[in-house]
Homo-oligomer: A and B are copies of this chain.
């Protein structure tokens, strides 16, 4: 069923593991970070620059591509790899995350327990979800079958079953009913996937169950019992860091750990170490690339911040690179003072320059984590990075 895909665990240290996820578009050395190219582009960065900075795999959002330019348009251009000029592995999500998070406020806010907002989601029923396009207000109805068909047309290597991303402010009853419906949707996703399987794609199942241990366990068992290629941990992870780690650990119970395990939407440095330690193989988050566009550069060992804000006046005369031990083109070519100036002068170059550093930073972090697992020195690696 997944004959062109394989996941080999080549080394492990306690629950952490180093693996190779083989796809028709190349191998991913895990643990790996997946960079967000939300609208078919990692903002401001070309595939050439992604490769120069050791990027292995990127993610695009089905929700955005469905609305524009449309999955058929991408298929007619030869699929997403050909359309965007990226030859490596690509993951697309199911579209559910954006529909439901936009349904409950701005993306990501609600599932992280922050605030509620204006609804773009009109109706959820057994069949699927009715929502309005953020582009033109047109009605859109997304079902498990439509999500899989859309992801087929887009043509990523790694695709995700359609689920409801349960918000944080849901009671247990709602969360349980939603999880059960998500399971039925994921089963339909799997059936649709199998019906048209051409061996170019592999399907992830998603664990739901909110912050409830018994639900997370049931969901993990459901995913493991069905022939998904890999597992993603989705839904709310609670409203605090402590709760996040608890919920992720709950979701790991009852899971088939021979499959790759992806943690959706997490990208902080210390969070990645925690995730790796409990057995997560891949992570994605807009964080490294998004904060770059606000002038924030990732740095090692900066207390709880994990970055410096180059807009700060203290960097106006700082002739050092972002990091002295970084060999990205930004750190080789530019000082903090120049990056500060570019940001203050509204010069476009600031955004790709800082983004490049943050991409290289994340890829170096993941490389050292892999070495740390293999050498059983993960604690020393963590001590260096956060």
Q: Taking beta carbons and an 8 Å cutoff, which residues of A are in contact with B? A: 39-48, 68-69, 73, 76-78, 83-85, 316-317, 319, 329-330, 333-335, 337-338, 341-342, 344-345, 347-349, 351-353
Contacts and interface: CB of A to CB of B under 8 A. Distances in A.
Q: How many copies does the complex hold?
A: 2
Contacts of A351: 348
Contacts of A48: 329, 333
A319 B68 contact: no
B77 A335 contact: yes
Nearest to A40: B341
A68 B334 contact: no
Contacts of A347: 39-41, 43
B77 A39 contact: no
A341 B83 CA distance: 10
Interface centre among A48, A73, A78, A351 (most CB of B within 10 A): A48
A363 to B, nearest CB: 18
B46 A348 contact: no
A345 B348 CA distance: 17
A78 B46 contact: no
Nearest to A334: B85
Contacts of A44: 44, 348-349, 352
A43 B346 CA distance: 10
Contact of A43 (B76, B338, B341, B349): B349
Contacts of A83: 335, 337-338, 341
Contacts of A47: 333
Contacts of A68: 344-345
